[in-house]
Structures are given as C-alpha cells and as structure tokens.
Structure 1
C-alpha cells in the first residue's frame, strides 16, 4: 500500500547554549508489496539506531516496500558551542588550582575548553531527537495508509456490487439454456430419424423420452448453481472482512483466488454466449480486485 509520512524533531544548535545536536527530519514512504521490505537510509553517526527503527516500523506495518530516510540539519557553526562567562571562569579556577599543585601541567587548549563547555551529550540528544521524529513520522505514515486503505475498501465494495449484479444476471439464464437445448435435441432426433427410416419405426413418445434424457444429462453438466452460491458466499466473506478491518490482506488474497476459480468454472460450463460473457466480466472484475487486494495490509 502506498503511503507517506514526515516529521521533524529538535532544532539546529545555535546561541549560547548550542550543543551541536541539530534538528532531525524523518521521511517515510512506501510502495506496494506483498511482503515487508524495509530500507533505512541513515547518516553514519546514527547507524546505531537501525535496530530500534526497524522494530518501530515492524510494529506498525506488515506489508509493502518501505523506505525511511533520516536527515540531520545543522547551521554552519552549530557544531561549535558558545562558552558562557560562568563556564570560562570555572575552568580558569580549576586550571589555576591544578597548576598550583602541578606547575608542569599543560595549559588547556582552545579545543579542550570548547569540549568542556559543550554541555550535555550531543550524541544522546541527537539519538533522542531522531527517535522522536521517527515516532511522529510513523504515526503520520500509518494515518496516510489508513486513508489509502479506506479508499481501496470503497473500490472493492463497488466491485462486489458489480459481481453480485453479474451473479443475479446469470441465474435466470440457466433454465432458458436448458429449455433451448432440449428443443435442439428434439429437432435433431426428429431429423436423424426421418433420414434413417422415415420416422415410422420409432414412436413420438420414445423420441420425446430420449430427448428429455439427453436434456437432463446436459442440464446436470451445465448446472452452475453451486458455483453461483459459492460466489455469493465468498463475496459475503469479503464484505465481512472489510467491515471488520485490521490485517486482512492475505485472507482477501486467498478469497480472490477462490472467486476466480468459481468464475472460471462458470465459464467452462457455459453453454450459451450470455453466460460466457458474464464469466469474462466476472474474471475481469475479480482481477481488478486482486490487484487492489495485494496492496492491502
């Protein structure tokens, strides 16, 4: 199922209290897929979050090829802290105390001063911002997929209505097909007997009985009442699953196979062009449903 979600957390480190953690943006997008395929694109310094992100995504979705992209935004000087006067005064006092006892101690460098004044643990703060953004993006992504799922459910219900109409059209055709075939048998028997012996050796009752027997056997061969009943039953189950919601993609996929099997049998038993056309229309509608069902989680 297609979907997209995006969220940001934190802000680029600026000002006197900047710690260089930076703001984090997470984008999640998915395309249709029968199975779950996760692709994570992370900066090198956030690779350690991959297991947690996979667990987060795996708990929210079950199907689809999903790509999560995480970006960190920083200002040009966001990585450099701005030491406060209090911090510098405190470091100066500490350095003086150390050099009083250890005169040969090396003075603090500018880099060391900046490291001491950085404050907090930027890596931990950045990890926290990344996970917060990821959770927001997943929620946005799931909401988008739910909207897409509702749209697909509407399309499936429309196709179910269409299939029910086709089933209703097929049912009254069966008696007419049998009646036409019975008359066809009678006509052929009469023609064959007339050519063989002028029709004198066989009574009209015998001809009628034989024709009725042939028509009965034919009616049994083309009886599609069970196929139509199973089609209705499968359509009822599809509607029940759509009403229930939840994870139903695989069950719907199986039902599409069953619907196609019944429609195919209907076509193979068809003895009239009308039934053949109905069978073809059914298979077209079912194939369209199957393509949509493969997108549903």
Structure 2
C-alpha cells in the first residue's frame, strides 16, 4: 500500500426492475472529510449510505456523490405530493409579494425534491427497500473506484515527494559542509568589532557579550541535526500506510522553521544561498503535501 491522494473519480451503473441509475463520486483536496450528496427524490436514505461509505474509506477531502435514477417510460405511476408543494409555495410567497423574486414556474416547482414521487416506490416498502439497497451497493462500487483513483494519484505523489526529500537531504549535507567555516568568519568579524571598539572604554562584560552573541550565531549544528532528523521522519512517513497528509504538513512547518533559522545565522553568502535553495525545496514539498490524504 502507498500514500493516497485526494483527487479522483469513480462511476457505477445499475438497474433493478423498471429502474436504472448511475452513480458518480469525485473528490478534491480538503483539510477534513466533507461529503456532499445529491440523489433522486424519494430516496433520501441513500445519503446515509454515501456518507457512511465515504467515512469508511477516506480520511480527508471534499467528496461529491451524485445519483441519477430514472424509471422506464410507461411503467408504474407517479404521484404529486400536494402537501410538499404547498409548503414550498408558502415559504416563497412573501418574497414573491415583495418583488424580491419572480413567481415560480411550474417546471421549477415540479423539479423540487419531494414534489413528484414514484407511487409504487412509496406504496410498496419492500420494493423501495430493495431498490435503495441496490442503489447503495452501486454507491459503494463508485466509492471504490474513487479510492482506486486516489491511490493512483498517491503513487505518483510518492515519487515526487521522495525526490524532494532527497533534494532537501542533499542541501542539508551541503549546508553542513559550509557550516564548518562559520567559526573562522565569525572570529574575523569579532576581531574587527573589537578594533572598532578599541577607542572606547569597553568593559570586559561588553566584550564577553559581543563574543557570546557571535558564538551563538556561528553554531548552526542544532538546526542541521534537526533538518537531518526531519528528512528521516519524512522518509518513514512516505512508507507508512494510511493517511499521513496532516503529519507531513506539520513536518513541513518544522522543515521551514529550521531553514529560516539557518539563514538568519548564516555568516557567509554561500551558506545563505544554500539556505535559500533549501527553503525553495521545502516550499515545493509543502505544495505537493497539500494533495496527500
């Protein structure tokens, strides 16, 4: 198993008796799992099947599940739900009277959920249950197809992310090699600073403060050690089953924090240049991580 992306598409079709239907499930990136459902009137129970099916398969992403169903022409009958129609008319009447909206059209009213019902589906509970069960099974098939599409995206993402982690590791090693020259550069700066202060009445405490401040800036070993640790952690996460997107996102923040500190402590143009390249690679990594479940 590999990491999973958050973009994909799945479709399934089915039929039972005079009914036929098609289910489409698609998803895009999202911080949490959000499921939106659209189904035919009279089959409100399908929304639960879609939500539970999505929750069982996915952890993050904005999902849309749609079911389109139709009945063979000339088979069975339909019923106009006048009570539901009256509710819609009553709810919209004040807005029509105030001129805020145009009077509703007949075709618009008939398209509203619950206004037209399949007579036999309502009057025959067993037939309704069997039909909903068959449609729910198709929803599961479409969600499986969506999961397969997200897994395929994850396989492609894994290669890209692994390459960026390697790049970050290489830049960290390069920065480590350059960091060896930090003390000499800082020492030269310290000596120059002491020369500048030679004409002043400088206390020993002031000299110690200057030396301590420059010594702290010269030491970037802690940042480099943490960067190497984050590289190892990223590789472990990329080989872990399940949703790791949030963990990778957090790790990216830690990467950037260390890279920023490295740049702020840099005493040479060469180390600063590597630090900036490091930040650019981390930003690319962050952008790709947004696609991981």
Q: Please, what TM-score do these two structures have when normalized by structure 1? A: 0.71
Q: 1:237 aligns with which of 224, 227, 233?
A: 233
- Structure 1 runs not aligned, ≥5 long: 12-18, 81-114, 197-210
Report the counterpart of residue 60 of structure 2 in structure 1. 63
Inter-CA distance 221–135: structure 2 relative to 1 (3 Å threshold): same
User: 1:192 offset after TM fit, Å?
Assistant: 7.8
Report the counterpart of residue 148 of structure 1 in structure 2. 153
Q: 2:42 aligns with which of 20, 45, 56?
A: 45
Report the counterpart of residue 214 of structure 2 in structure 1. 218
Task: Determine helix, strand or coil for the equivalent of 2:167.
Answer: helix
Report the counterpart of residue 7 of structure 1 in structure 2. 12
Report the counterpart of residue 129 of structure 1 in structure 2. 134
User: 1:73 offset after TM fit, Å?
Assistant: 3.4
- Taking the aligned partners of 1:224 and 1:43, their CA distance within structure 2 comes to 63
Q: 2:281 aligns with which of 277, 285, 288?
A: 285
The reply to whether residue 73 of structure 1 matches residue 70 of structure 2 is yes
Task: Determine helix, strand or coil for the equivalent of 2:292.
Answer: coil
Report the counterpart of residue 25 of structure 1 in structure 2. 22
Task: Determine helix, strand or coil for the equivalent of 2:180.
Answer: helix
The C-alpha deviation readout for 1:116-170, integer Å capped at 9, x for no partner, is xx99954233212211111111111111111111111111101101101111111
The structure with more radius of gyration: 1
Aligned Cα RMSD in Å? 2.9
- Taking the aligned partners of 2:137 and 2:145, their CA distance within structure 1 comes to 13
Contact 1:31/1:65, CA 8 A, preserved across alignment: yes
User: 1:74 offset after TM fit, Å?
Assistant: 3.3
Report the counterpart of residue 244 of structure 2 in structure 1. 248
Contact 2:10/2:149, CA 8 A, preserved across alignment: yes
Task: Determine helix, strand or coil for the equivalent of 1:279.
Answer: helix
The reply to whether residue 54 of structure 1 matches residue 59 of structure 2 is no
User: 1:174 offset after TM fit, Å?
Assistant: 1.8
- Structure 2 runs not aligned, ≥5 long: 1-5, 78-119, 200-206
Contact 1:40/1:67, CA 8 A, preserved across alignment: yes
Report the counterpart of residue 199 of structure 1 in structure 2. none
- Taking the aligned partners of 1:248 and 1:178, their CA distance within structure 2 comes to 39
Q: Please, what TM-score do these two structures have when normalized by structure 2? A: 0.72
The C-alpha deviation readout for 1:24-50, integer Å capped at 9, x for no partner, is 211000111111111001111111221
- Taking the aligned partners of 2:197 and 2:254, their CA distance within structure 1 comes to 43
Q: Point out the more displaced range, 247-256 or 230-239.
A: 247-256
User: 1:184 offset after TM fit, Å?
Assistant: 4.8
Q: 1:272 aligns with which of 260, 268, 272?
A: 268
Contact 1:33/1:63, CA 8 A, preserved across alignment: yes
- Taking the aligned partners of 2:162 and 2:224, their CA distance within structure 1 comes to 18
User: 1:77 offset after TM fit, Å?
Assistant: 3.0
Contact 2:9/2:145, CA 8 A, preserved across alignment: yes
Task: Determine helix, strand or coil for the equivalent of 1:46.
Answer: coil
- Taking the aligned partners of 1:166 and 1:286, their CA distance within structure 2 comes to 11
Task: Determine helix, strand or coil for the equivalent of 1:135.
Answer: helix
- Taking the aligned partners of 2:75 and 2:131, their CA distance within structure 1 comes to 13
The C-alpha deviation readout for 1:41-63, integer Å capped at 9, x for no partner, is 11111112212221111111110
